[in-house]
Amino acid sequence: MKLKGKNILLGITGGIAAYKAAILVRLLVKEGAEVKVVMTRLAKEFITPLTMATLSKNPILVEFFDPENGQWNSHVDLGSWSDLFLIAPATANSMGKMAHAVADNLLITTYLSAKCPVMIAPAMDLDMFQHPANLKNIETLKSYGNLIVEPESGELASGLVGKGRMAEPEIITENVINFFSSKKKLKSKKILVTAGPTYEPIDPVRFIGNYSSGKMGYAIAEVLASQGAEVILVSGPTNLEPSNSLITKINVKTAQEMYTESVKYFPECNVAIMSAAVADFKPVVYFDKKVKRGKDEMQIKLEPNKDIAAELGKMKKKNQKLIGFALETNNEFENAKKKIRNKNLDFIVLNSLNEDGAGFGYDTNKISIIDNENNQTNFDLKPKKEVAVDIVNAVIETLMKS
């Protein structure tokens, strides 16, 4: 399902290759894409709207409005709905209109108003294809940033043999998949993310923990995966489950377990993002039986846990990046900058606790990002999912710098 979540608008123009659009829709839908179809009037002569509506599971659009009830088919809405406008087959006539803004049908008006990328699979007889007017139009479309799936050489509907036959639906689908995957900025990157709280056991039923929900770390893992990164998510106890198959979740409870797993995976990762709220201390003694209530004062002696971020900071190689978080109540920026130095971080995400709606348990967060060259960017209060996008963008920028 390489096209899951992608909205593809398929434009079909009037050529004999239109019959292949049925197979094309099937392949796109099989890969998980949501497909809507806009056809020219002539295209309906080559393949029926009923066939295309059945395969795409969406009504077909041909006219500017429905003559029965006057309902308007908005070309602007269609254009903004789609992640890609794929025109296959594209006849010489339609490409000519596209190149010169001849807006006389719904397909062309949609093309002219579409904000999304456009991919075109031309189809025509060899002499039409070779005509300088047609080649010039294709060059014009390329100059607008449109992507062309080159036609193949072979037997044509006319019986002639030459270049002009529309690329096979399998090849077009492959081009669409490649188009979306090449846009992924973290393809072939492996990223370690720590998330959630840690629990430091006192006895079999009690622990020292904190209120971290893990929401921020999980949101970061999802955004990283959506950009093609392979993610190792070392997670303390949370109620969350990742949804992307590029995320491998490793469950831990204590800071020591989180340390062991992080140290194990960091050498094979390009980046580590330390979003976990690691307990700084653990009880020196673990009671293997439940501690009974007594009348005397009870004291639990604590010892420091390993600082996972600082340990990874020591291991960090030149081509690796390390990102930390800071949660401060006072002297926010000074303390955050100290942590960048002490833990050898590339940048730190400073969470403000002085802000309503930010921090543990909330769905929103307000952050500042400070890098190891002292550059600071402040962001507005936003949903954690959007904050995750800001953080991942900063990761991508940092990777591009090296």
Asked if residues 353 and 328 have their Cβ atoms less than 8 Å apart, the reply is: yes
Nearer to ligand CTP, 149 or 255 (CB): 255
Give CA–CA dist 330/334, Å, rounded.
9
Tokens of 77: 């809405």
Under rule CB under 6 A, residue 172 binds ligand CTP: no
Catalytic residue selected from 7, 73, 210, 372 = 210
Under rule CB under 6 A, residue 105 binds ligand CTP: no
Nearer to ligand CTP, 15 or 324 (CB): 324
Q: By rule CB under 6 A, what count of residues binds ligand CTP? A: 15
Tokens of 99: 């190149």
Segment interacting with ligand CTP, rule: CB under 6 A, options 11-19, 85-93, 273-281, 313-321: 273-281
Which of these, 123, 126, 120, lies nearest to 149 by C-alpha position?
120
> Burial, 4: exposed, middle or buried (Cβ in 10 Å; 0-12, 13-18, 19+)?
exposed
Which of these, 138, 258, 139, 241, lies nearest to 194 by C-alpha position?
258
Asked if residues 274 and 263 have their Cβ atoms less than 8 Å apart, the reply is: no
Tell which positions 354-373 bind ligand CTP, by CB under 6 A. none
Shortest spacing between CB 255 and ligand CTP, in angstroms: 6
Tell which positions 295-324 bind ligand CTP, by CB under 6 A. 305, 307-309, 324
Under rule CB under 6 A, residue 274 binds ligand CTP: yes
Site string for ligand CTP, 179-198 (x = CB under 6 A): ---------------x----
Nearer to ligand CTP, 154 or 304 (CB): 304
Which of these, 5, 148, 132, 136, lies nearest to 87 by C-alpha position?
148
Shortest spacing between CB 176 and ligand CTP, in angstroms: 39
Catalytic residue status for 210: yes
Under rule CB under 6 A, residue 208 binds ligand CTP: no
Shortest spacing between CB 216 and ligand CTP, in angstroms: 11
Nearer to ligand CTP, 89 or 214 (CB): 214
Give CA–CA dist 267/340, Å, rounded.
20
Which of these, 148, 166, 121, 179, lies nearest to 2 by C-alpha position?
179
Under rule CB under 6 A, residue 255 binds ligand CTP: yes
Give CA–CA dist 22/1, Å, rounded.
19
Under rule CB under 6 A, residue 280 binds ligand CTP: yes
Under rule CB under 6 A, residue 327 binds ligand CTP: yes
Segment interacting with ligand CTP, rule: CB under 6 A, options 13-21, 33-41, 274-282, 379-387: 274-282
Give how far Cα 155 sits from Cα of 135, 138, 140, 151, Å.
20, 22, 27, 12
Number of neighbours of residue 45 by Cβ within 10 angstroms:
10
Under rule CB under 6 A, residue 278 binds ligand CTP: yes
The residues binding ligand CTP (CB under 6 A) are 194, 255, 274, 276, 278, 280, 305, 307-309, 324-327, 339
Q: Please list the active-site residues.
A: 210
